[in-house]
Amino acid sequence: MSGDDDYVYDEDSGEWMPTSDLAAKQAAANTVEVRDAVGNILEDGDQVTLVKDLDVKGAGQTLKQGTLIKSIRLTGDEQEIDCKYPGIKGLVLRAEFVKKR
Protein backbone atom coordinates (compact mmCIF):
# COMPACT_ATOMS: atom_id res chain seq x y z
CA MET A 1 0.00 0.00 0.00
CA SER A 2 1.42 3.35 -0.97
CA GLY A 3 1.28 6.44 1.20
CA ASP A 4 0.08 8.58 -1.73
CA ASP A 5 -3.60 7.52 -1.60
CA ASP A 6 -6.18 9.87 -0.10
CA TYR A 7 -8.62 8.04 2.16
CA VAL A 8 -12.26 8.93 2.66
CA TYR A 9 -14.89 7.56 5.01
CA ASP A 10 -17.55 5.41 3.33
CA GLU A 11 -20.76 5.87 5.31
CA ASP A 12 -22.39 2.77 3.76
CA SER A 13 -19.72 0.32 4.94
CA GLY A 14 -18.40 2.33 7.89
CA GLU A 15 -14.83 1.94 6.63
CA TRP A 16 -12.05 4.19 5.43
CA MET A 17 -11.08 3.48 1.81
CA PRO A 18 -8.96 5.03 -0.96
CA THR A 19 -10.74 7.77 -2.91
CA SER A 20 -10.38 5.78 -6.16
CA ASP A 21 -12.11 2.73 -4.63
CA LEU A 22 -15.01 4.84 -3.38
CA ALA A 23 -15.41 6.49 -6.80
CA ALA A 24 -15.50 3.06 -8.48
CA LYS A 25 -18.05 1.81 -5.94
CA GLN A 26 -20.33 4.82 -6.54
CA ALA A 27 -20.05 4.46 -10.34
CA ALA A 28 -21.07 0.79 -10.09
CA ALA A 29 -24.07 1.74 -7.95
CA ASN A 30 -25.23 4.27 -10.57
CA THR A 31 -25.15 1.84 -13.52
CA VAL A 32 -28.46 0.53 -14.81
CA GLU A 33 -28.77 -3.16 -15.59
CA VAL A 34 -30.66 -3.69 -18.86
CA ARG A 35 -32.07 -7.16 -19.51
CA ASP A 36 -33.56 -8.58 -22.71
CA ALA A 37 -36.80 -10.59 -23.05
CA VAL A 38 -35.22 -13.78 -21.64
CA GLY A 39 -33.16 -12.15 -18.88
CA ASN A 40 -29.73 -11.76 -20.52
CA ILE A 41 -27.82 -8.62 -19.53
CA LEU A 42 -27.37 -6.23 -22.47
CA GLU A 43 -24.31 -4.04 -23.02
CA ASP A 44 -23.31 -1.34 -25.51
CA GLY A 45 -22.38 -2.88 -28.87
CA ASP A 46 -24.41 -6.09 -28.47
CA GLN A 47 -26.36 -7.56 -31.36
CA VAL A 48 -30.01 -8.38 -30.71
CA THR A 49 -32.89 -9.97 -32.60
CA LEU A 50 -36.55 -8.99 -32.33
CA VAL A 51 -38.83 -11.47 -30.55
CA LYS A 52 -42.03 -10.12 -32.16
CA ASP A 53 -43.17 -7.96 -35.09
CA LEU A 54 -43.03 -4.26 -34.24
CA ASP A 55 -44.75 -1.36 -36.03
CA VAL A 56 -42.34 1.59 -36.17
CA LYS A 57 -44.19 4.84 -35.51
CA GLY A 58 -43.41 7.57 -38.02
CA ALA A 59 -41.47 5.27 -40.36
CA GLY A 60 -44.48 3.52 -41.86
CA GLN A 61 -42.87 0.10 -41.73
CA THR A 62 -42.90 -3.03 -39.62
CA LEU A 63 -39.80 -4.74 -38.29
CA LYS A 64 -40.38 -8.49 -38.42
CA GLN A 65 -39.66 -11.04 -35.70
CA GLY A 66 -36.09 -12.32 -36.07
CA THR A 67 -34.75 -9.04 -37.51
CA LEU A 68 -31.11 -8.55 -36.49
CA ILE A 69 -30.21 -5.20 -34.92
CA LYS A 70 -26.47 -4.60 -34.79
CA SER A 71 -24.55 -2.54 -32.26
CA ILE A 72 -27.11 -1.32 -29.73
CA ARG A 73 -26.43 1.53 -27.30
CA LEU A 74 -27.79 1.72 -23.77
CA THR A 75 -29.65 4.92 -22.89
CA GLY A 76 -29.49 4.83 -19.10
CA ASP A 77 -33.12 3.70 -18.92
CA GLU A 78 -33.50 0.07 -17.89
CA GLN A 79 -36.14 -0.59 -20.58
CA GLU A 80 -34.95 1.43 -23.60
CA ILE A 81 -32.10 0.78 -26.03
CA ASP A 82 -30.96 3.02 -28.87
CA CYS A 83 -30.53 1.22 -32.21
CA LYS A 84 -29.42 1.86 -35.75
CA TYR A 85 -31.40 0.28 -38.57
CA PRO A 86 -31.21 1.14 -42.30
CA GLY A 87 -33.96 3.56 -43.29
CA ILE A 88 -35.02 4.41 -39.71
CA LYS A 89 -33.40 7.27 -37.83
CA GLY A 90 -33.53 7.51 -34.05
CA LEU A 91 -34.87 4.00 -33.46
CA VAL A 92 -35.45 3.28 -29.77
CA LEU A 93 -36.66 -0.19 -28.78
CA ARG A 94 -37.90 -1.55 -25.49
CA ALA A 95 -35.63 -4.24 -24.08
CA GLU A 96 -38.58 -6.57 -23.53
CA PHE A 97 -38.92 -7.00 -27.33
CA VAL A 98 -35.34 -8.08 -28.07
CA LYS A 99 -33.14 -11.09 -27.37
CA LYS A 100 -29.35 -10.97 -27.16
CA ARG A 101 -27.67 -12.81 -30.00
Domain positions in the chain: 1-31, 34-100
Asked whether residue 74 carries a pLDDT value surpassing 80, the answer given is yes
36, pLDDT greater than 90: yes
At 1 the pLDDT is 47
Q: How many CB atoms lie within 10 A of CB 72?
A: 24
CA 48 – CA 70 distance, rounded (Å): 7
Structure confidence at residue 47 (pLDDT): 96
- Position 9, amino acid: Y
* pLDDT number for residue 3: 53
Global pTM reads 0.69
The predicted-structure confidence for 41-71, as pLDDT tens digits, reads as follows 999 999 999 999 999 988 889 999 999 999 9
CATH (one of 2.30.30.40, 3.40.1190.20, 1.10.150.120, 1.20.1300.10) for 34-100:
2.30.30.40
